[in-house]
Amino acid sequence: MFPFFPYPHPLTRVTRSSSSTAPSTTTTAPSIAPSECDPDSNPQLRAPVAARQFSASSATQVQSLKERLTELIPKEIEEVKSVRAAYGNKSFGEYTVDQAYGGMRGIKGLIWEGSVLDADEGIRFRGLTIPEAQKALPKAPGGNEPLPEGLFWLLVTGEVPTEEQVRGLSADWAARAEIPDFVKELIDRCPNTLHPMSQFSLAVTALNHDSAFAKAYSEGINKKEYWKTTFEDSMDLIAKLPAIAGRIFRNVYGDGKVPAIDPSADYSKNLSSLLGFGQNEEFVELMRLYITIHSDHEGGNVSAHTGHLVGSALSDPFLSYAAALNGLAGPLHGLANQEVLRWLQKMRAAIGENATDEQVAEYVWTTLKGGQVVPGYGHAVLRKTDPRYTAQREFALRHLPEDPWFKLVAQVYKIVPNILLEAGKAKNPWPNVDAHSGVLLTYYGLNQQDFYTVLFGVSRAFGVASQLIWDRALGMPLERPKSYSTAEIKKIFGGK
């Protein structure tokens, strides 16, 4: 039997109301009559509906993500050919020796389809800003935050899905969510002292055992078909992450008893339940927002670039994303929200609750004069307040406006940027996503800070996996930039 859904069944066709249309930057499906459901005759249809056999008794079917991709890939291949023919010899500009030494900041050398980061506007998911995505993407019944399933569909296709397509994706992921017994045993054998991110990476690596791509590659599959098994692995990867994360959390911080996946629940609801917070609807809503805003941040950050780089060697999505997780575990990437929370806790311990603005400012100056940074402020690309911070702030204003920790975060937001500008310490003195997330998680009782990066890891899989699918569909080559030694640089430029 197909699982019961408390919201519109994924196999039931419904129409899009005018209130659910996307912003003007993209075209979405309006309310349509049955006669208008032909995508060839109705170009306004964002995600065409086609027949698909989910069960023998299904009367009305919804086009799956893979079916839609099958239609889109040939067109995108031609689009890339056209772009390369027209602009292949154009230059992105010069870069300098300092950039080579400076972490390749500002060097333009990657293709990333899902998102583009603008210094002023922040991230755009396939052209949609975060507020636009929040408005356009389908939501759970009674919810205000977008379902991450819809965000994944958007990242993969560039289209806003219908509610039925999102519900179908929820059901698909729930059906794939079970992890192999040997992976369960692997996690259970890890000592509680092993960092949750190390356990997470270990378990994701082990999923390679059942990789459809690895098996097909060993059997000599045509490279034009690489994307199909990459898609299956990517779907399995995302689907299994909540079960892995939940098992690690329960082992390290609980009694080791892991509840079953609910086949009728959406992705965030299942993740919340596995962590023990499924009965708190506000926490579930937070997870929907958290996963959405942490899912992708273009291709140059450590985790995204690592996943793309390892995938370019035709490592399957499990191996590629395990490598990405190891990058995410670094203090300069995924651990930043923990550092923010600890800094706030130290501040409160030093100056007490309900501190004045002057006391907070003095503590900030003490931090800077001590040779430390103010965690959660500044960004390598952004030059305005991170929209991901703003989305979390708005969530807090709705759900926890009187929380003392939120009030402290808001107070710091009012004070820190001016101090950083005065001190000349940052090109961007504004808060980023990490300045807020830890306080929200703590408010709902998830105060196990070492686990925060695992939640980030669940989220970032959406962006990395969507790009891996397109990397294989477009036949992207092995990544191999040129490197130089310091001695070679002296030879090149020494006589000039």
Active-site residue, selected from the candidate residues 118, 195, 333, 399: 333
Is 263 within 8 Å of 171 (Cβ atoms)? yes
434 is catalytic: yes
Active-site residue, selected from the candidate residues 294, 379, 386, 436: 379
Cα angle: 285, vertex 291, 295; to 5 degrees: 155
Active-site residue, selected from the candidate residues 308, 434, 436, 471: 434
Give the chain's radius of gyration (CA, Å). 23
9 is catalytic: no
Query: Annotated catalytic sites, by residue?
Result: 333, 379, 434
